[in-house]
Structure 1
Amino acid sequence: MPRRRTAALSATVLLAVGLVGCSTGSDQRAAVADGTKSPTAAPTMTAPATTGQPFTPPAGVAPARSSAVGVRELQLNRDGKRPLPTTVWYPAVGMAGETPQRSARVAAGRFPVVVFSHGLTGRPADYAALLSRWAAAGFVVVAPTYPHTSKGAARFDVLDVINQPADASYVLTEVLKLDRRDDPLNGHLATDRVAAAGHSAGGVTTVGLFTARRDERLDAGIVLAGSALGVGTAFAGPTAPQLFVHGELDDVVSYASGKAAYDRVPWPKAMLSLPQGDHGQSLLRTGNRAFDVVVDTTVDFLRWSLYGDPAAKGRLASGVIQDGLANLDNRL
């Protein structure tokens, strides 16, 4: 068997073994809910990134206060063969702190876009507590349901994670088009300020958007309990700051594997570590202090990387140390 084909087969097997534990269910220990850019340009393959590339935060004004949140659904389908129903959370007119309202009127202003990828057997709704907080902070969050790794998929296939970076790029393209169409989001999308984020297998998908299938429209990334398994660490293209978040007691995607991917990032980066954190419960569920730390840290990272908010970077620079609850390795 040719060496290249053997290597590809080995990577596929490792991906299947490494990601199978990301599944969620009532009996799962992890309890996971498992320059100017053209907004519609297709992602391009680029040379590997090099260290020392400067990052200049965009010029923008971050919202001074939280907003109400609206939510809607988009029916997208890549190539007519990969259905990608997508949930969108966005800043809306109304009272902050209330339950997200279906099809609420979009708040005034232009907001950066974050494409979010769920974990195995997950769905966007599983992450509503986190993603609605991002929307309230001034971001349009778009979360596709992947066709072969989501809960209820007609044909579940863990190896399909490899195809998800292309899905995420497609969803991003379609959403950014809405800024110029007869749509409630028309005139409300900051199409030149875009990030990707994801949890578990969705974290792998997110890493892939900066490595194997680099989408150069992306300005920043957030990897929650993820790794580079199957997509590699050949980070490429323009500088894009990264934030990794990982529980040190994660028994699904090991802390060591997440840290290994983080160590290979050549750009400004930070890693939020939770000494008592597991794969999902402490990172993504309300009702515990760790969740609040994750929310505050991810919001500040997005405010700095997509709005250029210096106060947010200042809060990150102070690190996160709360009674041993979490700490931040800050290299931003």
Structure 2
Amino acid sequence: MIRRILKGSAGLLFTLTILAIVIYIATAPQRPAPGAASAIWLEDGHYSVGTKEHVFIDEYRTTNENRGFPGKPTRSFQTWIWYPENNEEEHPLIIHSHGIISQGNELANVAERLASHGYVVAAANYPLTSGSTEGGANANDVVNQPADVSFLIDSMVSLSGDDKPFNGTIDPNRIGLSGFSLGGLTTVLATYHPRWRDPRVSAAISIAGPINSFTSRFYDTTDIPFLGVYGTADALIDYQTNGQIIPDRVKNSTLVTIEGGSHLGFLALADPAFRFMHNPDTIGCQGVLAALDQGTEEVYISIGTE
């Protein structure tokens, strides 16, 4: 009797496993048609990709106290670096900023693709907004992250000796920023803020980042190319009030709209973990709200709106 039950359970488990595999394959994202522009953009470059982790320490700026955890006299950045191997040329540099309660390697798949085309990509855990923050991620520290971006640019440009994993040099005229969610706001601040912007930035990308608190005047500090990538089903960063407004509010900008795209769907971890959910943002809302528990009024007073 027990043997029959075990055999029946094994058969049911096998059937469910096969069914899950079939559904997983059937729900996979549709690949662009061969020869389409999107297909060409998604092709790997001809360079093999190397990776390295490095810790940069800014000894001249402090880390604030956070929910009972004491502050620190420096700011430390665990950093992931992706680079093209066996390339002696000058490389464009991308500094990527992660989202709240996330980490620097959240879009490792994108960084690897860029590195295969000759880019050097660096992405760090910010001191108080990553998922590993003591006391929990605190979005209020975003006001310090534009200076963190400038520090990371300085650090990457000055790498030498055994600390420098790539051949060739960084091209100072081709430095770009990318950012996801709160990292998108960091990118916007480091690109456009009248006091905090880094003039070395020559292109910027915001992926599902909040930008609607700033008027068009705020974006007049530079006319570099700006790309916004937003999903219409984003439950955290509303598409209509953040993505759709980009062409009219930001000069020299382009908007890429992902129909049905959610917020967490941009992350590499979203596939396959969240594929069977209607909208994975329902999971992310609680974590983000916890990181905003102290409100953002003081943050935007510090930033300004224009």
Give TM-score scaled by structure 1 length.
Answer: 0.58
Structure 1, 149-158 or 255-264: larger mean CA deviation: 255-264
Q: What is the DSSP-based 3-state SS (H/G/I as helix, E as strand, rest coil) of the residue aligned with 1:276?
A: coil
User: Residue 286 and residue 278 in structure 1: after superposition, are their counterparts in 2 closer, same or farther (change >3 A)?
Assistant: closer
Counterpart among 140, 160, 167 of residue 120 in structure 2: 140
Deviation at 1:83, TM superposition (A): 1.0
Match of 1:163 in 2: 144
Counterpart among 242, 259, 262 of residue 243 in structure 2: 259
- Note if 1:221 corresponds to 2:204: yes
1:134-174 CA deviation, whole Å, 9 max, x = no partner? 11121100101101110120133111112111111111111
Counterpart among 69, 79, 87 of residue 86 in structure 1: 79
Equivalent pair of 2:88/2:168 in contact (CA under 8 Å): no
Equivalent pair of 1:204/1:226 in contact (CA under 8 Å): yes
Equivalent pair of 1:227/1:261 in contact (CA under 8 Å): no
1:260-275 equivalences under 5 Å are: 262-263=246-247, 265-275=249-259
Distance 1:287 1:159 in 2: 30
Distance 2:160 2:177 in 1: 18
Counterpart among 104, 117, 121 of residue 97 in structure 2: 117
1:163-312 equivalences under 5 Å are: 163-178=144-159, 183-185=164-166, 187-212=168-193, 213-228=196-211, 234-259=218-243, 262-263=246-247, 265-282=249-266, 284=268
Q: What is the DSSP-based 3-state SS (H/G/I as helix, E as strand, rest coil) of the residue aligned with 2:243?
A: helix
Deviation at 1:179, TM superposition (A): 6.4
Deviation at 1:186, TM superposition (A): 6.0
Deviation at 1:115, TM superposition (A): 0.4
Equivalent pair of 2:94/2:121 in contact (CA under 8 Å): yes
1:291-326 CA deviation, whole Å, 9 max, x = no partner? xxxxxxxxxxxxxxxxxxxxxxxxxxxxxxxxxxxx
Deviation at 1:261, TM superposition (A): 5.6
Q: Which amino acid aligns with 2:154?
A: T
1:145-156 equivalences under 5 Å are: 145-155=125-135, 156=137
User: Residue 286 and residue 211 in structure 1: after superposition, are their counterparts in 2 closer, same or farther (change >3 A)?
Assistant: same
Equivalent pair of 2:180/2:207 in contact (CA under 8 Å): yes
Q: What is the DSSP-based 3-state SS (H/G/I as helix, E as strand, rest coil) of the residue aligned with 1:85?
A: strand
User: Residue 255 and residue 284 in structure 1: after superposition, are their counterparts in 2 closer, same or farther (change >3 A)?
Assistant: farther
Q: Which amino acid aligns with 1:228?
A: I
Distance 1:211 1:264 in 2: 16
Distance 1:176 1:132 in 2: 19
Give the gaps of 5 or more residues in structure 1: 1-63, 94-106, 289-332
Equivalent pair of 1:208/1:228 in contact (CA under 8 Å): no
Deviation at 1:176, TM superposition (A): 1.0
Distance 1:229 1:77 in 2: 33
Q: What is the DSSP-based 3-state SS (H/G/I as helix, E as strand, rest coil) of the residue aligned with 1:131?
A: helix
Deviation at 1:66, TM superposition (A): 2.6
User: Residue 278 and residue 182 in structure 1: after superposition, are their counterparts in 2 closer, same or farther (change >3 A)?
Assistant: closer
Q: What is the DSSP-based 3-state SS (H/G/I as helix, E as strand, rest coil) of the residue aligned with 1:166?
A: helix
Give the gaps of 5 or more residues in structure 2: 1-43, 61-72, 273-306
1:106-157 CA deviation, whole Å, 9 max, x = no partner? x332210000000011112222112111111211001011011101201331
Count of residues paired in the alignment: 213
Q: Which has the higher contact order (CA 8 A, sep 6+)?
A: 1
Deviation at 1:284, TM superposition (A): 4.5
Distance 2:251 2:160 in 1: 30
Match of 1:127 in 2: 107
Distance 2:171 2:54 in 1: 19
Equivalent pair of 2:179/2:207 in contact (CA under 8 Å): yes
Q: Which amino acid aligns with 1:73?
A: E
Higher-Rg structure is 2
Q: What is the DSSP-based 3-state SS (H/G/I as helix, E as strand, rest coil) of the residue aligned with 1:75?
A: strand
1:258-286 CA deviation, whole Å, 9 max, x = no partner? 22662454432211001110002256558
Give TM-score scaled by structure 2 length.
Answer: 0.63
> After TM superposition, what 4+ stretches of structure 1 lie above 6 angstroms from structure 2?
179-182
Q: Which amino acid aligns with 2:236?
A: V
Is the helix fraction higher in 1 or 2? 2
Structure 1, 208-217 or 138-147: larger mean CA deviation: 208-217
Equivalent pair of 1:247/1:273 in contact (CA under 8 Å): yes
